[in-house]
Amino acid sequence: KSRARLPVDWSLYLVTDSTPAILGDKDIVEVVDQAIEGGVTIVQYRDKHADTGVMVEIASKLHAVTQKHNVPLLINDRLDVCQAVGAEGIHIGQDDMGCVEARKILGPDAIIGVTASSVEEAQKAIEDGADYLGIGTTFATPTKTDTKSIIGTRGLQEILAACATGTEKTVPCVAIGSINASNVQRVLHQSAHGSNRLNGVAVVSAIMASMDPQASARSLLDLIKTAPEKFYAAVPPNTARITDFANLIAQIPYIIKAHVSSSVLCHNMTNTVVQNFAANVCLATGSSPIMSENGPEAPDLARLGGALVINMGTATPDKMNAFTAGLRAYNAVGAPVLFDPVGGGATAVRRDAVKTLLAAGFFSVIKGNESEIGAVAGTSTTRQRGVDSGPSVSTAEEKAKLVKAIALREHCVVLMTGKTDYLSDGERTVAIENGSQYLGKITGSGCALGSVIASYVAVHPQDKLLAALAGILHYEIAAERAEARQDCRGPGSFIPAFLDELYLLGQEIKDGRGIGSNGPF
């Protein structure tokens, strides 16, 4: 029987599961019907245990439902079941029948998908004529414990890059493995490689185990359709990055000038020790601070055009709820969020907190000292390949490599502070030698720098590395000038001198004195 092939919408791909642990006592046909009502765009019937007769019976009921909604039905592995019910195609794993043989049997109109967990597998599947790829395993999942490798969003990115000829992706790709409402936007965002993006995500438990499959499908589809666009809109894909260092530096005074005059909102969820100092630094540099750890008001604040700082000074359950609410609220409108994983590696609670926050949304900037950045590196990829293989990061080159690797993995700007600061967006990595010894002798100087960088990114979101660099230079050059002052005699007198210089440096540049050949840069 010949099936005219319709264009397929891969956005939300449901893979079924009939095991009691996931399906419970729900009726699979009813769940699939509800899920499609909610927004599922393609269905795969996957049952590793049932007898062939039962499979054919269920597949045929599922096909009636998918046909009613005009959604394709694929069968996992079993060509015989596919043919018996006239389903639109099959999905095959690496241990199943080969793609070429399956095509011979099913013909050119059938949809044939292949699971790929490496670049090699993906390329072979494309050569063999696969119509789409299911790529993963993204994150470890209890639904399928015998998966070959956990590749993370970085692995997805590598496969998406390899699936492209020139700039065009050749086959549709969906990611699979522990994807749910809490991480779907992050997966879509972080897996993107240039304009090559996932066409959708495949889920099992997020819908099959749900008490309300329709509502779960609806909210997943909503997340899939909304966030990435909003987020990417902040960085137009065709914007050329300034990669020449002299040109990068030449932009800095203009960005400082824009910031100083902005009064941009800087929303801080930060620890009590640094609140006062960070708020003063915000005012001195030209932003308008608000110190609020009240999650429910974050959506209103997120709409004011500013940035959020999540400073994990303490990671109590209450604070974690507020951080997560804040992150979601700012992500929802595409506004920048800076993550300061204070004490990140110190305790099990903090390591968990870092992991939870990284999975809960996306950050524009992650900043920390060497051990905090180390904690970020080791988190969320502990079972994945990548930067966690743990070379010591003692040399300058190793530090630069580490921030670059995390920037690529997390798709954001990463700053490792220290005597020399290392800043990277994955494409460009810079070392910054400015600063003062006194910054290490007063409390909250690192946290306050986070607030400065966040508001700079809000003022110049089109190039977050450049914005962060401008914020760092504003901060560290002011510190140098404060240390050089006659009235600065130690950490105590450094603080007021530093606040003065943050303000004065900004005013000088605002008045045009830093712009041109004789400025401070």
Catalytic positions, please? 447
Helix 152-162, helix 119-127: angle, nearest 10:
30
Min dist. Cβ of residue 326 to ligand 3NM (A): 27
- Residue 225 and residue 198 in contact, taking contact as beta carbons nearer than 8 Å: no
Q: Is 497 exposed, middle or buried (0-12, 13-18, 19+ CB in 10 A)?
A: buried
If the CB atoms of residues 22 and 249 are measured against Mg ion, the closer one turns out to be: 22
Among Mg ion, ligand 3NM, none, residue 15 binds (CB under 5-8 Å by kind): ligand 3NM
Q: Which does 176 bind (CB under 5 to 8 A by kind): Mg ion, ligand 3NM, none?
A: ligand 3NM
Does 216 sit near ligand 3NM (CB under 6 A)?
no
Say whether residue 204 binds ligand 3NM (CB under 6 A).
Answer: yes
Q: Is 26 left (phi over 0), alpha (psi -120 to 50) or beta?
A: beta
Q: Which of ligand 3NM, Mg ion, none does residue 16 bind (CB under 5 to 8 Å by kind)?
A: none
Question: Using CB under 6 A as the criterion, what x/- string covers residues 22-61 for binding ligand 3NM?
Answer: ------------------------x---------------
In the bound state with ligand 3NM, the residue whose beta carbon lies nearer, of 224 and 469, is: 224
Q: Which stretch binds ligand 3NM (CB under 6 A): 184-192, 198-206, 347-355, 401-409?
A: 198-206
| 77-116 binders of Mg ion (CB under 5 A) | 77, 93
Distance CA(325)–CA(120), nearest Å, equals 40
Strands 168-169, 164-165: parallel, antiparallel or unpaired by DSSP?
A: antiparallel
Q: Report, in Å, the least distance between residue 336 CB and ligand 3NM.
A: 30
Q: Is 15 in the site for ligand 3NM (CB under 6 A)?
A: yes
Q: Which residue is nearest to Mg ion (CB)?
A: 93
Alpha carbons 159 and 145: distance in angstroms, whole number: 22
Of 113 and 444, CB closest to ligand 3NM? 113
Q: Which is nearer to Mg ion, 93 or 418 (CB)?
A: 93
**Contact between 176 and ligand 3NM per CB under 6 A:** yes
> Residue-wise over 49-66: b if at least 16 C-beta within 10 A, else e?
ebeeeebbebbebbbebb
Binding mask 111-150 for ligand 3NM (x = CB under 6 A): ----x------------------x-xx---x-xx--x---
CB of 163 to ligand 3NM, least distance (A): 16
According to DSSP, the residues that pair with 268 across neighbouring strands are 291, 309
The tally of CA atoms less than 13 A away on the side-chain side of residue 169 is 21
Quote the least distance from Cβ 220 to ligand 3NM, whole Å. Answer: 11
Does 178 sit near ligand 3NM (CB under 6 A)?
yes
Q: Does 384 bind ligand 3NM (CB under 6 A)?
A: no
Which residue, 76 or 381, has its beta carbon nearer to Mg ion?
A: 76
Residue 479 contact, options Mg ion, ligand 3NM, none, Cβ 5-8 Å cut-off depending on partner type: none
Check if the beta carbon of residue 284 is closer than 8 Å to that of residue 503.
yes
Is the CB of 137 or the CB of 417 nearer to ligand 3NM? 137
Q: Smallest gap, in angstroms, from Cβ of residue 45 to ligand 3NM?
A: 12
48-56, 160-168, 202-210, 398-406 -> range binding ligand 3NM (CB under 6 A): 202-210
Residue 197 is classified by DSSP as: -
DSSP 16: -
Distance CA(432)–CA(474), nearest Å, equals: 12
Between 177 and 361, CB nearer to ligand 3NM: 177
Q: Is 213 in the site for ligand 3NM (CB under 6 A)?
A: no
| DSSP character string of 156-179 | HHHHHHHTEETTEE-S-EEEESS-
Sign of the CA dihedral running 248, 387, 416, 238: positive
Distances 456 to 288, 448, 464, 468 between C-alpha atoms, Å: 12, 13, 8, 6
Q: What is the largest CA-CA distance in the chain?
A: 89
Q: Could you tell me which stretch among 177-185, 219-227, 437-445, 507-515 binds ligand 3NM (CB under 6 A)?
A: 177-185
Complex with ligand 3NM: residue 55 or 312, whichever CB lies closer: 55
**Beta-strand pair 89-92/73-76:** parallel
Q: Which is nearer to ligand 3NM, 190 or 275 (CB)?
A: 190
User: CA geometry: angle at 264 spanning 258 and 270, to 5°?
Assistant: 130
In degrees, to the nearest 5, what angle opens at C-alpha 76 toward C-alphas 71 and 80?
100
Q: How far apart are CA 330 and CA 362, in angstroms?
A: 9
Site string for Mg ion, 62-81 (x = CB under 5 A): ---------------x----
Helical (H) or strand (E) element with 335: none
Of 8, 184, 203, 309, which one interacts with ligand 3NM (CB under 6 A)? 203
Q: Does 152 bind ligand 3NM (CB under 6 A)?
A: no
Buried b / exposed e over 358-396, threshold 16 CB at 10 Å, is bbbbbbbbbbbbbebbbbbbbbbbeebebbbeeeebeee
Q: Which residues bind ligand 3NM (CB under 6 A)?
A: 15, 46, 115, 134, 136-137, 141, 143-144, 147, 176-179, 203-206
